[in-house]
Structure 1
Amino acid sequence: MSTKEQHNETTDTAAEETLEQTAEQTESEFADQNEAGENAGEDARYVELTKQAEENQQRYLRAQADFDNFRRRTMKEKEELAQYASMKLIDQLVPIVDNFERALAAASSNSDYDSLAKGIDMIFRQLFQTLEAEGLKAIEAVGQPFNPEFHQAIMTVESDEYEEGIVVEEVQKGYMLKEKVLRPAMVKVSG
């Protein structure tokens, strides 16, 4: 049960208890007054307690409406946050897309492949730096003991260089986003 639901249930329960107590108090006091024979005071007290019960009911209804409004507002805020959560990252990637467009335009007008390779390498480094700033990091694999949390073994191979259970080759890089594995590294393990 969420905190909001608990709060809503607590509010409902407290309001209901207050109304019940007021009703019980009204009935008890009304019965006591009847026994004492105070008819004139009975009517005034009954009116007062009825008015108090109505006020409590109105307070309860207002609190319920406020809580419903709060719930709707926070749900809308969550939806907006989810919709635009990647905005900062996209803003950082747009200049990299611009650089790719420039490199492609330069490649179509010039056949200097060394310059194209240097440009692509610079764009790759810019892209990786942007992703690192967001918490992306490559998983170290080769020479490390096989760990199924970080590595996905696709085959075992014989190796004179490494002892058993050590990653000897990385077939596909693995990545972590902050402290969570985004994609395990595909590796070959010495067997």
Structure 2
Amino acid sequence: MSQEKDNPNNTDNTIDNEQVTPVGEPFSDEISPDLPPVDEGNDLSKLKDELAESRDKFLRLYSEFDNFRKRTQRERLDLLKSAGADVIIALLPVLDDFDRAQKAFSSTNGDSALKEGVDLIHNKMVSLLQQKGLSKMESVGKEFDVEFHEAITNIPAPTPDLVGKVVDEAESGYLLNGKVIRHAKVIVGN
């Protein structure tokens, strides 16, 4: 107040409340009818629900992608294992012809050099195919199994222990890397 007296230029230092224009709206505890009521608990629970839903969606998509990746990797490995399956299947009749030629040579007194040549080619071919995963099924004397055998006929079993078992094999069956690529055509005792 002493400055008011000392300052001759200051004529009126009092502020009239009616002359001051408010910068913002005055604060009041009342909720304005224009604005929606703010329910912080409801908004928070809504956000938590959305977050949980987003996390669930993310986990499902991640799991689906991971399963897709594993499935394609497994399919790629299967494709590599069976890449030459068509060629091997096409060679099976040739292998059967070699087996028949060996049986024919063993029953006759033919040219021994020719027999040795057929045996040599047969053994090389069998060895090569075994390296590629081919294995011959042994069926005679085993229980008939539709997963591995194709019954072409039934005959009376020569002995009681051969009932329901393979008595003879008309055409050999083969496995490629543990999967059947040709069922053995067999004769079953009944």
TM-score (norm 2): 0.42
Q: Which has the larger radius of gyration?
A: 2
TM-score (norm 1): 0.42
